[in-house]
Amino acid sequence: MLTTDNTALLVIDVQGKLAEVMHQKEVLYDNLQRIIRGAQVLALPIIVTEQVPAKLGPTRPEIAQLLGETFNPIAKESFSCCGSEEFMDALVGLERRQILMTGIETHVCVYQTALDLIERGYEVQLVTDAVTSRTAENRQLGLERIRQAGASLTSTEMALFELLRVAAGERFREISKIVK
């Protein structure tokens, strides 16, 4: 099970031009905002990446504004986040072994990152309602291949309540408002 002291949230490449052509992009944006707000309530570290931002644009404003002053996306050229030395340094520095993965595209950057993280011994949980691709078929194929590689599938609500563990206290009230 996910624990708040061992989990980090990874938001992969939710950027301008690329994000605008995604299948069910509004569902993606809504769930990304929920999981980010929930991660903040639970004090989880959040890493955001951008694939060649000079060409694809910056992280979507509705995502970037949630992160405020702490927002410092990691630019990369490799499809896998693990191909970026800056990303790996940031991840290793967190000393977290459970990774909640979100972002785009499921069958390219998310898929390749998941496989590389699993190979490095990380427990990957793919937030299925917070990932997508340009087509439903590629999204589905990515989900299947990531699961076959050893990742667990979860949802925004499932992950947040798993991390929360109890239906009591201020954090429960805040998370409940977020997921509704």
Catalytic residue numbers, as ranges: 13, 76, 109
SS3 85: helix
- Phi, psi torsion values for 152, nearest 5 degrees: -95, 150
Peptide bond into 77 cis (omega under 30): no
Enumerate long-range contacts of 88-95, CB under 8 Å, 24 or more apart.
Answer: 90/47, 91/8, 91/47, 94/8, 94/45, 94/47
How many angstroms from the chain centroid is the CA of residue 69?
Answer: 19
